[in-house]
């Protein structure tokens, strides 16, 4: 049972500290996908919700955005702590309303989703300069996907990515989070390489309330992997990620794909092969880079 609440907010645009955006935009609080590993579950602390993550959604209503042209040249990231195309979007249309209000403003948009409902808005998305849509795909195993979230089947996500790409919209295959021993990055890259402009790779980062949930799942369902997870997430052993990095680097070289660290690829020709970007521990990299810049 999903609890729906309609709430009024003063603004839908929030200044962002994310390296990929000037503003974060989240038309909803909460998400019915209920991903077991969702970092956004921390939002419960700020909203007063005590229900399990995935069982509630606050639907935002905001005053019409005045003078949207003020955001010309700015990057809006839609879906930093919610899925803007979760099932309730079909009922409320808050993401589509946002796109309508910002159409013609000259702003750039990036959308992150696990849903093919985004296809409904191709007409609007195409009106934004350098629009990009990111699809989260961290497995090709439908049974594992069902264990982890309530999003649409993997096949539908990949098909939506293909249609977006064929429509001339830049797409990203976001392989995140990578589950050690379970996520087959190479297979996902091979499946999606002709349907996207960019592949982002992000490690599973366990913290907060979902750490024991994921570790408990691994222990019960994949006991052969539990020692590996204990080494990584209890002892801080990062050798798995160093090894995976080298394997992917060699794989990309064999496949003729560029493999780099921290790049958004927007300057690359649309028809170029996708660039594969390692974002392992990117939060730490960002902090260290900020520290070094402040020292210099």
Q: Work out the pLDDT band at 281, boundaries 50, 70, 90.
A: confident
What is the number of other CB atoms lying within 10 angstroms of the CB of residue 183? 23
Q: Is the pLDDT of residue 295 over 70?
A: no
Angle at alpha carbon of residue 30, lines to 136 and 167, rounded to 5°: 35
- In this predicted model, what pLDDT tens digit does every residue of 101-138 receive, in sequence order? 999 999 999 999 999 999 999 999 999 999 999 999 99
Pairing of strands 170-178, 132-136: parallel
| Residue 94 confidence (pLDDT) | 98
Q: Work out the pLDDT band at 264, boundaries 50, 70, 90.
A: low
Beta pairing partners, 76: 23, 109
198-209 mean pLDDT: 92
Q: Which residues, other chains included, contact 108 with Cβ-Cβ below 8 Å and sequence gap of 6+?
A: 73, 74, 75, 76, 128, 129, 130, 131
Q: Is the pLDDT of residue 8 over 90?
A: yes
Domains plus CATH for the chain? 3-295 (3.20.20)
Q: What span, in angstroms and rounded, lies between the C-alpha atoms of 275 and 199?
A: 6
- In this predicted model, what pLDDT tens digit does every residue of 210-233 receive, in sequence order? 899 999 999 999 999 999 999 999
| Residue 109 confidence (pLDDT) | 97
Q: What span, in angstroms and rounded, lies between the C-alpha atoms of 42 and 52?
A: 12
| Residue 267 confidence (pLDDT) | 77
| Residue 73 confidence (pLDDT) | 95
Q: Work out the pLDDT band at 283, boundaries 50, 70, 90.
A: low
Tokens 């392989």 locate to: 175
| Residue 218 confidence (pLDDT) | 98
| Residue 288 confidence (pLDDT) | 41
Angle separating helix axes 210-221 and 226-235, nearest 10 degrees: 160
Q: What is the DSSP secondary-structure string of 261-282? A: ES---TTS-TTSPPEEEE-TTH
């Amino acid at each position: 049972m999903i609890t729906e609440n309609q709430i009024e907010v003063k603004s839908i645009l929030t200044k962002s500290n994310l390296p990929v955006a000037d503003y974060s935009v989240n038309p909803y609080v909460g998400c019915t996908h209920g991903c077991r590993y969702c970092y956004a579950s921390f939002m419960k602390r700020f909203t007063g919700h005590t229900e399990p993550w995935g069982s509630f959604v606050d639907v935002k209503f905001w005053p019409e955005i005045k003078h949207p042209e003020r955001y010309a040249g700015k990057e809006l990231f839609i879906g930093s702590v919610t899925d803007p195309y979760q099932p309730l979007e079909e009922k409320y249309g808050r993401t589509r309303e946002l796109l309508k209000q910002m159409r013609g403003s000259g702003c750039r948009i990036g959308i992150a989703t696990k849903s093919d409902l985004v296809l409904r808005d191709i007409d609007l998305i195409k009106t934004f300069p350098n629009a990009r849509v990111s699809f989260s795909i961290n497995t090709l195993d439908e049974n594992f996907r069902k264990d982890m979230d309530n999003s649409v089947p993997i096949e539908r996500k990949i098909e939506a990515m293909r249609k977006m790409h064929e429509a001339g919209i830049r797409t990203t295959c976001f392989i995140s989070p990578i589950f050690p021993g379970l996520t087959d990055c190479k297979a996902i890259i091979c499946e999606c390489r002709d349907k996207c402009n960019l592949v982002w790779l992000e490690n599973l980062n366990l913290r907060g309330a979902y750490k024991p949930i994921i570790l408990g799942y691994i222990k019960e369902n994949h006991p052969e992997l539990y020692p590996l997870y204990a080494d990584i997430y209890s002892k801080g052993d990062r050798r798995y990620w160093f090894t995976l990095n080298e394997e992917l680097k060699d794989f990309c070289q064999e496949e003729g794909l560029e493999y780099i660290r921290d790049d958004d690829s927007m300057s690359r020709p649309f028809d170029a092969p996708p660039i594969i970007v390692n974002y392992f521990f990117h939060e730490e990299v960002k902090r260290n880079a900020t520290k070094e810049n402040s020292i210099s």
